Structure 1
Amino acid sequence: MFFSRRAKHLVPDLVSDRLLLRQLAARDEAEWINLRYANSKWLKPWDPTSPMGPPAAITFREMLKAKDEAAVEGSGYSWALALPQLHQSQPPLIGQVSVSSVQYGAARTASIGYWIDRNHAGFGLMPEACALVVDHCFEQLQLHRLEINIRPENAASLRVVDKLGFRDEGLRKGYLHIDGQWRDHRTFALNREELKTTMLEHIYEH
């Protein structure tokens, strides 16, 4: 088995009415690569790049190994989005949600990032996926604060944080290297005590 049992345990399946969030596996290679290729133009303005130049290419299995190691270390977690109602035995992948920069100690904080297939955007699926991850981070990882950083031009992503009820903490100048340049980002955050229900219940109510 490619992933260690420990890593699999640390990235459990998360399920809502419409979605299954699960760990990527070696069998997903062709489907994941094809999905990313089909959405390359759609995602290019929001994809991270390196200020030191193009990094060395890594294989899909090397990417999985890095994600597995991050989960074991407790520094990051990643889920693929799938739609079980379209095919219960092999639900198609439609995107990804990741938790990165996890800090414990006095901070207990992390950042959430995500992307979705263009054909499935605009149906409320990404807020639903993020809600599952938020609930996991607050309830299982016992984190206190979560943040999402978004380019001001990314209207679709801004609608996600609005649906989630994250508060706007303002603009960070040149915060991340995106699409070949240092780009400004708006930071949105939520503390555990600000959420009176589960996040999944919150988005269903709104």
Structure 2
Amino acid sequence: MIEPPRPLGRHPGWPASLGPLRVAAGLVAVRGPRLWDGGAWSRIRLRDRDHLERWEPTAPGTWEDRNATLAWPGQWSSLRALARRGMTLPFVITVDGQFAGQVTVGNVIRGSLCSAWVGYWVASHVVGGGVAPASVALVVDHAFMMAGLHRIEATVRPENKASLRVLEKLGFREEGLFRRYLDVAGGWRDHLCLALTTEDVPDGLVNRLLATGRATIPQ
């Protein structure tokens, strides 16, 4: 069993590198985004447009412009600034050391709420290989144990069965339906709200994956 550490620092939980865990697709780890990630990020995003665009919020400009290599520095700078202010915990997912997606804890609110949301995407070539559950488990455990959060929620379109399976494997509970919640793929879409609190997973999500054989710790 992995023992939880204590939160440290002015903005606890940032920066950090987490993992690895071994899953079917390879060794999964997460780390902070880097400026030189832009090339790999853009190649995957442009290649996987059909895999990603229908689930992501509508944004100005074309997919090609928003996901070009030149678009990355602005995103990287914004993520870093938000992380330094303690408002988000942004991570890059790697599989066998190669860029394979992102997982982000956003809208961090402290005080009496201590809550945030988690969002993620993974490259199409590693879908089904255990990458999404492993990376989300690493980051959510970190948010609870090191960042000192109490509740993490995720919102997913009901049609996104793959993403719902990821959250169900990790034990997220469904709490309700948000009607016309986000503008996605050009329309206001309903989203299911799923959530976890620290009381739901006292031993952590990574330990849950290890116990069920969905992941192992490399020797």
In structure 1, stretches of 5+ residues that fail to align are 1-5, 85-90
1:149 matched residue in structure 2: 155
In structure 2, stretches of 5+ residues that fail to align are 1-9, 22-26, 213-219
- The reply on whether 1:165 has 2:174 as its aligned counterpart is no
Partners of 1:146 and 1:186 in 2: CA distance: 14
**Partner SS for 1:98:** strand
**Partner SS for 2:40:** helix
How many residue pairs were aligned?
Answer: 192
- The reply on whether 1:43 has 2:52 as its aligned counterpart is yes
TM-score in terms of structure 2 length: 0.83
Match of 1:191 among 187, 193, 197: 197
Report 1:35-184 matches (<5 A): 35-50=44-59, 54=61, 59-84=71-96, 91-184=97-190
Partners of 2:86 and 2:113 in 1: CA distance: 14
CA-CA distance at 1:94 after TM superposition: 0.9
Partners of 2:61 and 2:89 in 1: CA distance: 24
**Ranges of 4+ aligned residues in structure 1 off by more than 4 Å:** 53-58
Superposed CA deviations along residues 109-140 of structure 1, whole A, max 9, x for unmatched, are 00000001111001111011000001110001
Indicate the RMSD between aligned Cα atoms, in angstroms: 1.9
Partners of 1:168 and 1:45 in 2: CA distance: 22
CA-CA distance at 1:54 after TM superposition: 4.3
CA-CA distance at 1:170 after TM superposition: 1.4
**Partner SS for 2:119:** strand
**Partner SS for 1:48:** coil
CA contact under 8 A between 1:39 and 1:118: conserved in structure 2? yes
CA contact under 8 A between 1:11 and 1:79: conserved in structure 2? no
**Partner SS for 1:160:** helix
Bigger Cα displacement from structure 2, 13-22 vs 135-144: 13-22
TM-score in terms of structure 1 length: 0.88
**Partner SS for 1:10:** coil
Partners of 1:178 and 1:61 in 2: CA distance: 24
**Amino acid corresponding to residue 11 of structure 1 in structure 2:** P
